[in-house]
Amino acid sequence: MVFSGSLCFCDESKRADSPADYELRACLDADNFSGSSVTEMKKLSPSRVVNIADLRSIAEKRVPKAVFDYLDGGAEGEVTLRENCRAFGDITFRPRHAVAVGDCDLRTTVLGGEISFPAILAPVGYSRLMHPGGEVEAARAAGEAGTGYILSTISGHRLENVKAATKGPAWYQLYLVGGREAAEGAIERARNAGFSALVITIDTPVAGMRERDPRNGTPELLTGSIFAKLPFLPQVLAHPGWLTAFLLDGGVPRLENVLAPGETGGMPMLDVGTALRKSVVTWVDIHWIRQVWSGPIVIKGILTADDARRAVDEGAAAISVSNHGGRQLDGVSAAIAALPEVLAAVNGKTEVLMDGGVRRGADIVKALCLGARAVLCGRAYAYGLAAAGHAGVVRAIEILREDVDRTMRLLGCRSVKELDPSYVRYPSDWKPSS
* Nearest distance from C-beta of residue 255 to ligand FNR, angstroms: 10
The C-alpha atoms of residue 17 and residue 40 are separated, in whole angstroms, by 23
> How far from the centroid of its chain's Cα atoms is residue 246's Cα?
21
- Of residues 26 and 396, the one with the C-beta less far from ligand FNR: 396
Binding to ligand FNR by residue 281, rule CB under 6 A? no
Binding to ligand FNR by residue 330, rule CB under 6 A? no
Among positions 322, 333, 350, 407, the unique one binding ligand FNR when judged by CB under 6 A: 322
Q: x/- contact string, 361-400, with ligand FNR (CB under 6 A)?
A: ----------------xxxx-x------------------
Q: Which of 157, 239, 324, 390 is catalytic?
A: 324
Q: Which residue is nearest to ligand FNR (CB)?
A: 378
Q: Which residues contact 124 (CB under 8 A, 6 or more apart)?
A: 71, 138, 152, 378, 379, 381, 382, 385
* Nearest distance from C-beta of residue 95 to ligand FNR, angstroms: 25
- Count of residues in contact with ligand FNR, rule CB under 6 A: 25
* Nearest distance from C-beta of residue 71 to ligand FNR, angstroms: 4
State which of positions 51-80 bind ligand FNR (CB under 6 A).
70-71
State which of positions 165-184 bind ligand FNR (CB under 6 A).
173
CB atoms within 10 A of CB 347: 10
Instruction: Give the residue among 301, 268, 270 at the shortest CA–CA distance from 286.
Output: 301
- The three-state secondary structure class of 376 is strand
DSSP class per residue in 311-373: HHHTT-SEEEE--GGGTSSTTSPPHHHHHHHHHHHHTTSSEEEEESS--SHHHHHHHHHHT-S
State which of positions 107-166 bind ligand FNR (CB under 6 A).
122-125, 152, 154
- The three-state secondary structure class of 301 is strand
State which of positions 191-210 bind ligand FNR (CB under 6 A).
201
How many Å is the Cα radius of gyration of the chain? 21
* Nearest distance from C-beta of residue 272 to ligand FNR, angstroms: 8
CB atoms within 10 A of CB 370: 22
- Of residues 125 and 361, the one with the C-beta less far from ligand FNR: 125
> How far from the centroid of its chain's Cα atoms is residue 255's Cα?
16
Helix axes 134-144, 379-411, angle to 10 degrees: 20
- Of residues 5 and 178, the one with the C-beta less far from ligand FNR: 178
Three-class SS of 126-138? CHHHHCCCHHHHH
Binding to ligand FNR by residue 358, rule CB under 6 A? yes
State which of positions 80-109 bind ligand FNR (CB under 6 A).
84
- Of residues 18 and 282, the one with the C-beta less far from ligand FNR: 282
- Phi and psi for 318 in degrees, rounded to 5? -155, 160
Q: Does the annotation count 157 as an active-site position?
A: no
Among positions 341, 355, 363, 403, the unique one binding ligand FNR when judged by CB under 6 A: 355
* Nearest distance from C-beta of residue 314 to ligand FNR, angstroms: 17
The C-alpha atoms of residue 261 and residue 259 are separated, in whole angstroms, by 6
Strand partners, 289: none
Strand partners, 120: 376
* Nearest distance from C-beta of residue 152 to ligand FNR, angstroms: 3
State which of positions 221-240 bind ligand FNR (CB under 6 A).
none
- Of residues 5 and 219, the one with the C-beta less far from ligand FNR: 219
Residues that bind ligand FNR (CB under 6 A): 70-71, 84, 122-125, 152, 154, 173, 201, 300, 322, 324-325, 327, 355-358, 377-380, 382
Which residues are part of the catalytic machinery?
A: 324
